[in-house]
Structure 1
Amino acid sequence: MRRIAVVGGSIAAVTAASWLRVRGFEGTVTLLSAETEQPYTRVPLSKTVLSGEATDASTALPPLDDSVDVRLGTRAVSLNTRARRIVIDNGEPVPYDGLVIATGGRARRLSPPGMAGEKVLRTLADCAALREDLARAHSVLVIGAGLLGMEIASTCRTLGLQVTVVDRDPPLRRVLGPVLAQVITDAAREHGVVLRTVPGGVRLVGSRTLEGVDADGDFLTADVIVSAVGDVPAVDWLTGSGLRLDRGVVTDSRGRVANDIVAAGDAAVVRGVGRRPHWTNAVEQARVAADALLGEDVAGVALPSYFWTNQFGVEVKVAGEPAGLGEPDMVDVDGSSMLLRWSAGAAATVNHTVPVRKLRQLASAT
């Protein structure tokens, strides 16, 4: 194996490229990123960068070794696995001996093609555009009460904007379960956010320009309307490649997709596990996938998944998947600080300091 191509500019892509060098790969490493910016982390976009507290430049990831050929503004459009060739948007073929698929995802939109006005937050460019719109606004309507939607709502409140959040389900319930979701929901209401649950879902109203939202018969509108309704794995370019696609590219526990092809991050769906679109998982999965590509005999990601959120003055850290587990078996409360554990395989903290590794060990303890 002399040439490895890494497709994507995500944290998983950058981690895989750097890890190949750490593990001693001396051949050519080429990273193809569709974005024109140097690779960056998306974690602070909905928080400090959107509020203006941090600059766009602060999101930049540490630069890759000069030996990695980074091609920005280069979108992969197709893959020929037999010829071991990627075709990019200018028609040029990029040959490879080994391939890492780490194209991440794109923001899911609710508006039909041709309708303007719906805002999303996925990329640095999205963040800059939304920040500019918020600077001229008095009110914001957020569609989607998951982690991203509620973080956007929290940031908008710090900017003094009127905020309404609407979702088919109660806020954060699908991600955090009832106990943790209630903690943040209470904090959101205390900060003046209007939360609306619309079991029938919402419909965007407008023809060429978004005018508002039909929420089970009620018309809602605001100066800025933001959709935070999940992402779509960026795997369209793999159509016709022969790789198995199922809401992402399907891998085994070590990220292997096919001979000399691995995948990691938001574009990857691990058999029996699914997608885990979290920063920590992308980093760990990328290292495992890079090792597998080099033939290293290492296990897949073994520890429970980990993610965190900070909104409305509440910091929540989660190991495992508490949603659907019901009430925790252990709750240790000290004022506004909480430590929770579910024996079925999850643990969490609220405004409580615990090392990440210890929290993950607590989640996996029997």
Structure 2
Amino acid sequence: MKRIVVVGGSIAAVTAASWLRVRGFDGTVTLLSAETEQPYTRVPLSKSVLSGEATDASTALPPLDDSVVLRLGARAVSLDTRARRVILDSGEPVPYDGLVIATGARARRLSPRGMSGERVLRTLADCAALREDLRRARSVLVVGAGLLGMEIASTCRTLGLEVTVVDRDPPLRRVLGPVLAEMITSAAREYGVVLRTVPCGVRLVGSHTLEGVDADGDLLTADVIVSAVGDVPAVDWLTGSGLTLDRGVVTDSRGRVADGIVAAGDAAVVRGTCRRPHWTNAVEQARVAAAALLGEDVAGASLPSYFWTNQFGVEAKVAGEPAELGEPDRVDADGSSLLLRWSAGAAATVNHTMPVRKLRQLASAP
């Protein structure tokens, strides 16, 4: 194997490219990113970068090894697995011996094609556009009360804006479960956020321009309307390639997709499991997939998944999937600092310092 192509500019893509060198691959590594910016982390986009406290430049990931060929503005539009070529939007074929698929995901939108006015937050460009809108706004309506939606709401409140969040489910319940969700929801209300639960869902109102949101017959309006309703794996370019697609490109537990092809990050889903679009998951998948591409049988992460959020003065770190487990078996409290444990396989801290590895070990302990 002399040429490995990594498709994507995500943290998974950058990690895979770097890990190929760590594992001793000395052939050509080319990273193709559709974006024109240097690879960056998306984590602060909903927080310090959106508020203007941090600059766009602060999101840049550490530079890749000089031996990695980085091509920006190179969008993959199709894959020819027989000829082993990635086809770019310019029509240029990029040949490979080994391929890493790490194209991430794009923000899901609710508006039909041709309607303007709906904001989303996924890329640096999205963040810059939303930040500019917020500078001229007094009110914000966030559709979606998951982690991203509530983080955006929190940032908007720090900017002094009136904020309403609407979702068909109670805020954060699907991600954090009832106990953690209620803690953060209470903090959000104390911050002055209006939370609306609409069991039948919402509908965007407008023809060419978004005018508001129909919430069970009530028309909700605001100066800025942001949708934070999940993401869509960016795997359209793989249609017709012969690879198995099901809410992402399907891999085995080592990230292997087909002969000479692996995948990692938000674009990938391990066969028989749910896709987990978390930063830590993307990094760990990328390392395992890069090793697998080189023929190494490296096991995936043995510890539970991990993610975190900062919003409304609450810092929560979570190992495992508490949303599936109900009430915690144990809660240790010290003022506003909490440690929660679910014996079925999860643990979380709230405003409490604990090394990530220790938290994950606690979640998996019998």
Residue number in structure 1 paired with 2:5: 5
Offset of residue 297 of structure 1: 1.7
For residue 336 of structure 2, what is the amino acid of its counterpart?
S
For residue 83 of structure 1, what is the amino acid of its counterpart?
A
Give the 5 Å matches for 1:301-320.
Answer: 301-320=301-320
Q: Which runs of 5+ in 1 are unaligned?
A: none
1:240 is paired with a residue whose SS is coil
Alpha-carbon separation, structure 2, partners of 1:274 and 1:93: 33
User: 1:12–1:285: 8 Å Cα contact kept in structure 2?
Assistant: yes
2:289 is paired with a residue whose SS is helix
Offset of residue 273 of structure 1: 2.1
For residue 247 of structure 2, what is the amino acid of its counterpart?
R
Residue number in structure 2 paired with 1:106: 106
2:142 is paired with a residue whose SS is strand
Residue number in structure 2 paired with 1:57: 57
1:52-85 deviations in Å (ceiling 9; x for gaps): 0000000000010111110000100000111111
Alpha-carbon separation, structure 2, partners of 1:273 and 1:354: 28
Residue number in structure 1 paired with 2:268: 268
User: 1:254–1:301: 8 Å Cα contact kept in structure 2?
Assistant: no
2:323 is paired with a residue whose SS is coil
Residue number in structure 2 paired with 1:234: 234
1:160 is paired with a residue whose SS is coil
User: 1:115–1:209: 8 Å Cα contact kept in structure 2?
Assistant: yes
User: 1:9–1:31: 8 Å Cα contact kept in structure 2?
Assistant: yes
Offset of residue 272 of structure 1: 2.3
Alpha-carbon separation, structure 2, partners of 1:305 and 1:167: 25
1:166-216 deviations in Å (ceiling 9; x for gaps): 000000000000000000000000000000000000000000000000000
Alpha-carbon separation, structure 2, partners of 1:42 and 1:80: 30
User: 1:35–1:73: 8 Å Cα contact kept in structure 2?
Assistant: yes
Q: Which runs of 5+ in 2 are unaligned?
A: none
For residue 75 of structure 2, what is the amino acid of its counterpart?
R
For residue 270 of structure 1, what is the amino acid of its counterpart?
V
Are 2:141 and 1:141 equivalent residues in the alignment?
yes
Residue number in structure 2 paired with 1:132: 132
For residue 214 of structure 2, what is the amino acid of its counterpart?
D
2:204 is paired with a residue whose SS is strand
Alpha-carbon separation, structure 2, partners of 1:148 and 1:162: 18
CA RMSD of aligned residues (A): 0.5
For residue 166 of structure 1, what is the amino acid of its counterpart?
V
For residue 328 of structure 1, what is the amino acid of its counterpart?
P
Give the 5 Å matches for 1:207-356.
Answer: 207-356=207-356
Overall identity of the aligned pairs, in %: 89
1:237-294 deviations in Å (ceiling 9; x for gaps): 0000000000100001110001110000000001122211000110111000000000
Q: Structure 2 length as normaliser, TM-score?
A: 1.00
Question: Which aligned runs of 4 or more in structure 1 are off by greater than 4 angstroms?
Answer: none
Alpha-carbon separation, structure 1, partners of 2:127 and 2:228: 13
Q: Structure 1 length as normaliser, TM-score?
A: 1.00
1:13 is paired with a residue whose SS is helix
Are 2:86 and 1:81 equivalent residues in the alignment?
no
1:23-77 deviations in Å (ceiling 9; x for gaps): 1100000000000000000000000000000000000000101111100001000
Between Structure 1 and Structure 2, how many residues are aligned? 366
Alpha-carbon separation, structure 2, partners of 1:188 and 1:333: 20
1:185 is paired with a residue whose SS is helix
2:91 is paired with a residue whose SS is coil
Offset of residue 298 of structure 1: 1.1
